[in-house]
Structure 1
Amino acid sequence: MSYLEKIVNSAIAKLLDEDLWVNIGEIILKIIVVLVIASIVIKIGRAAIRNIFRVRSKSPLRISERRENTLQKLLENIITYVVYFVALITILSLLTIDVKGLLAGAGIVGLAVGFGAQSLVRDIISGFFIIFEDQFSVGDYVGIGKYVGTVEEIGLRTTKIKSWTGELHILPNGRITEVTNYSIHNSLAVVDINIPYDGNIEKAEKVIEELLPNMSNKYEEIVSLPELLGVQQLGTSDIMLRVVAETKPMYHWYIARMLRKEIKLALDANGIKAPFPKLVMYSRNEDADLYNHRVHRGE
């Protein structure tokens, strides 16, 4: 029997060994059990975190809602990472891989790779300071660079922003250098109303001033009494009046639309119409005929 035949026969004998397949089956079954347990632990952990924050929402010592949403998302992500890391180590141990030696080697390799992964380290450090300093939170409407939208998630490495048209922007935390947060302080709704020159400006101002006090009671998003500032601009065919109202954060667009509607209805009810462009027709042929007529008469 040749050497090659001995190797083939030995391999076939090992493959036909029942103990080998029993061991492989046991390992696969154990791996499945580990993954199932990891999935259950993650679900239980996330549910526990949600319940903890739900209880804190009824406590007088609670932090702001936006802050709680951010911390809840972050803790859920951390639990997921930790559980999957432990599951990975357990699976490697089941495959008879020396985990201790692997971790020791990974420490040395990680030190070398760390110099080339400075951006990753910068992202994590920046993410920590974003959360620690409460620069913005989940649910805030922010502007970061050229992206403007609602913060969907803040992680240790990336931040997810959803624009109002539905696009989801994923930004590395290390590249976030300037942030405009529109959700912290109250907003200001600015409404301009155009009145024609032949309209009664004093009457229009009186109608608007009588209407504005009712707006605070009608719309709870208005924080303070809306104010008529007066004449803002003298246009070519109309006069612009400006009304401002302080609103809750990010409600200025909604309140501005409602104010325009209410003011328009009030002005119409008092006979004050909106301005419209006036068109003046000028005919050069008529001027030429008039000139020829005068020349013919000797004028």
Structure 2
Amino acid sequence: MTAMYQRVEAYILDEKNWIDLGLICIKIFFILILATVVIRIGKTVINRVFTVRQRSPLRYSERRQNTLIKLLENILTYAVYFTAILAILSTFHIDVRGLIAGAGVIGLAIGFGAQSLVKDVITGFFIVFEDQFAVGDEVQIGTSRGIVEEIGLRTTKVKSPIGELFIIPNGTISNVVNYSVFNTIVLIDIKVSYESDIQAVEKMLRGFLGSLNTKYEELVKVPEILGVQEISSDDLVLRIGVETIPIMQDDIARKIRRDLKEFLEQSGVDIPYPIVVRNAKNDE
């Protein structure tokens, strides 16, 4: 016990040990500072590269740019911090080459046992670089529909309109419907009474629809009256085609339906409504 105490005391009182420890702390401090600086410079370079690309005459997609910037920044951060950890281990005189070799063997073994993980990562790269969809797009993946919140190397997160968050492994993504690439056409049906003068109603509607472009900037062009869609014994159905910017069709359709109802009422156009006939005998 006394011998052990003497060795500990000698180690603590040894000036050289404290100098070595101080040097190690200084090295670790500078490694962390250097890693932080490299990450900041790297992120600045990535953003400037995409800024220059935005000014080029080539096809530019802000959706894809935001996704690629986020992905490249994450890869840069992981790579720099991994290198910094190896450098810190080297300051403690740990054989980093042996660790790397061992990690390679272990990684190979894990790779054979985790083929689905490798598939997820590879599919994630193809999703981003082929611009299949990007963060902020409205998509439907299988039975999951919503806004893309995040595209990672392994999973994609989609948030539904009611707040559900779908976390989908990239390797399972086979069929994707992207609603955010092209303009969208939504069809609006309105009913008018069978006795209405169709030509007069269509003329009034064209004047009303022509004023919507200044009211709603989401409209690509003036909505068009496509004509009579259906004839029944009680009413006529007029169909209107509305072209909007991507993913805004549902919101605009609701607003136009409201405006149409108010306009038709103010214009004196009869809007058919169901009539409930009650049997007095059954009421008794």
What root-mean-square deviation, in Å, do the aligned CA atoms of Structure 1 and Structure 2 show?
Answer: 2.8
**TM-score, with normalisation over the residues of structure 1?**
0.82
Which residue is equivalent to 1:99?
Answer: 96
Match of 1:129 among 126, 129, 133: 126
**What is aligned with 1:265?**
262
Deviation at 1:210, TM superposition (A): 3.2
Conservation of the 8 A alpha-carbon contact between 2:156 and 2:168 = yes
Equivalent-residue separation in structure 1 for 2:158 and 2:282 (angstroms): 63
The partner residue of 2:43 within 36, 42, 46 is 46
Say which SS state the counterpart of residue 149 (structure 1) adopts: strand
1:90 Cα deviation after fit: 0.7
> 3-state DSSP class of the match of 1:278?
coil
Q: What are the within-5 Å matches in structure 2 for residues 143-154 of structure 1?
A: 143-154=140-151
Query: Partner letter of residue 57 of structure 2?
Result: P
Which letter does structure 2 place at the counterpart of 1:281? R
Q: 1:68 to 1:169 in 2, by over 3 A?
A: same
Larger radius of gyration: 1
Question: For residues 162-186 of structure 1, what are the alpha-carbon distances to aligned partners after superposition, in whole Å with 9 as ceiling and x for unaligned?
Answer: 3334454433211212211111122
Q: Residues 162 and 95 (structure 1 numbering): CA distance in 2 closer, same or farther, change over 3 Å?
A: farther
Matched, 1:190 2:187: yes
- Distance in 2 of aligned mates of 1:278 and 1:199: 18
Equivalent AA in structure 2 for residue 127 of structure 1? G
Structure 1, unaligned runs of 5 or more? 288-299
Deviates more, 1:52-61 or 1:117-126: 52-61
Q: Which residue of 1 aligns with 2:33?
A: 36
Secondary structure, aligned partner of 2:55? coil
Partner of 1:279: 276
Q: Quick one: which of 245, 248, 252 aligns to 1:251?
A: 248
Query: How many residues were matched structurally?
Result: 284
Moved more, 39-48 or 237-246: 237-246
Pairing of 1:212-251 with structure 2 (within 5 A) = 212-216=209-213, 218-233=215-230, 238-251=235-248
Mapped contact 1:73–1:153 kept (Cα < 8 A): no
2 CA distance for matches of 1:9 and 1:222?
A: 85
Structure 2: runs of 5+ lacking an equivalent? none
User: With structure 2 as the length reference, what TM-score do the two structures score?
Assistant: 0.85
Aligned with 1:116 (options 104, 113, 117): 113
Contact 2:136 2:147 in 1 (8 A): yes
Output the CA distance in 2 between the equivalents of 1:34 and 1:62. Answer: 40
